[in-house]
Amino acid sequence: MSETIAAETAERPSSRLRALLLNRGAAMVYVLIVAVLLASISIDRFASPLTVGFLLLDVIPVLLIAMPMTLIIVSGEIDLSVASIVGLSSATLGVLWADGWSMPAAMAACVVVGVVAGAVNGFLIAIVGLPSLAVTIGTLALFRGLALVVIGDDAVADFPREYTRFAISKIGATGIPVVMLGVVAVVVLFGVVLHLTSFGRGLYALGHSREAARFVGIDVDRAKFWLYVAAGVVSAVVGIYWTLRYSSARSDNATGLELTVIAGVLLGGVSIFGGRGTVPGVVAAVLLIGTLNYGLRLDRVSDVVLIIVTGTLLIASVLGPRVGEAIGRVRHERRVRAALPAAGPPPQAPAEGAAPAISLESLHPSSDPAPGAANERKQR
C-alpha cells in the first residue's frame, strides 16, 4: 500500500509538468518562438532593436485590452465596445486639452469616462440581465457616436512634446518601450487575479454555469459589473496612450481594434463559451498576431491582407478547439468500444402480462430418454 501511494505521489509532479508543457497556452508560446525565428531568417531588418520597438508599440493597445477581455470571456460574456471606448477617450483628451485643461486633469477625465462607459455595460448586462453580445454591439455604436459628437470631424494634434516622446521612448538600446513596464505590471495583475485568487476560480465556474459560481461563493452580478468597469478603465488608458503615441486625437481612433483583441484572446486558448483559458496563452497569441502583422508589413504586404489574416486567425481560434474536441470525443468512444468485451445482445425480459416462453424441447422431447426413464420401462 505504501509503495502504491509513493508511486502515485511521484507521478503527480510529472503529470502536472506534462500538462503545463502541453496545454494550449504552451503551444502558443512554441508557435510564437517558431514564428519569430522564421521572420528573423526570412525578412530583412526584422531581427533588430528598431523592429522590436515598433512591434511592441503596435502590440501594447491589444495586449492591454486583452487582459480584461480574457476575464470577461472566461466568465462566459463578451465586450465588443472596447475600441469605441478607446475612441471616446481619445476624443475627450483632445477636446479637453484644446480647451485649456492640463494634461494630468484631462487624463483623469478620460479615466472617468472609461469608468462610466464600463459601468453602463456592466449595469445593462449584470443588473438588468441583458445579453452581453447585444448590449456591447449597441454601446459600440453609442460610444463611437459620442466620440464624433465630442470632437466632430476635427483632429487635435498639438500635445505637449514631453508626453508624446514618453509614449514612444525606449529603454536604452534594447528597443523595448518604457511603457512596456506598465504593460507587464497590468499583465501580472490580471494573471494573479485569474489564476491565484478565489475570484478568478469563481470566474471559471461562472463560465460553466451561474449555479456553479454561486456554489463556490462568488457574487455573479457584482463580478460581471466590475469586469466591465475594468474593461472600460483599461480601454480609456489605451485611448490616452493611442492619442499620445500618434499625437492625434480623432473620433475614429482604434476602429476595428476589438476584432484583433478578441482574435488574440480566442487564439490564446480562451473558450468562446467560457470556463477555460490562461493569461500566458493570451499574451503569446497577441504577440504572435503582432509578429505576423509587422512581418507582413515589412514584407510590403497590403493592409487588406493583414485584415484577412486577422479574420482567418479569428475563425481558426473558434473552429480549431471545436474540431479538436470532436476528434478527441471520437477517439475516446473508440477506446471505450475496444475495451468492452465482445458479447451478443443482452437477453430481453418478457413484457408485463405476456405468457412465458415455451422452448422446443418441452414440446418435442429428446429421442434419447434419460437413463432413469429407460430403466423404469425395462422393469415394466
pLDDT at 2 over 50: no
pLDDT for 367 equals 46
Q: What is the pLDDT of residues 137-146, one digit of tens each?
A: 999 999 999 9
Q: Which CATH number is 130's domain given?
A: 1.10.3470
CA 235 to chain centroid, in Å, comes to: 17
Query: pTM here?
Result: 0.80
Q: What is the pLDDT of residues 75-119, one digit of tens each?
A: 999 999 999 999 999 999 999 999 999 999 999 999 999 999 999
What is the mean predicted confidence (pLDDT) over 263-289?
91
pLDDT for 298 equals 80
3-state secondary structure of 348: coil
Domain-located, residue 369: no
Q: What is the pLDDT of residues 203-232, one digit of tens each?
A: 999 988 888 788 878 888 999 999 999 999
3-state secondary structure of 156: strand
- What is the rounded end-to-end Cα distance, in angstroms, of the chain? 70
Q: What is the pLDDT of residues 316-367, one digit of tens each?
A: 777 776 776 778 788 878 888 888 765 555 556 555 555 555 554 444 444 4
Domain-located, residue 10: no
Of 55, 50, 117, 126, the C-alpha closest to 90 is 117
Dihedral, CA atoms, 119, 113, 72, 126, nearest 10 degrees?
10
Domain-located, residue 22: no
Grid cell at residue 209: 454555469
Domain-located, residue 363: no
Nearest-angstrom CA–CA distance, 286 and 268: 8
Domain-located, residue 353: no
Nearest-angstrom CA–CA distance, 54 and 297: 12
Could you tell me the residue range of the domain that residue 95 belongs to?
49-328
Domain-located, residue 378: no
Domain-located, residue 142: yes
Nearest-angstrom CA–CA distance, 380 and 372: 13
Tally the domains of the chain. 1
Domain-located, residue 23: no
What is the mean predicted confidence (pLDDT) over 181-196?
95
With contact defined as beta carbons under 8 Å apart, do 298 and 45 qualify?
yes
Grid cell at residue 335: 477506446
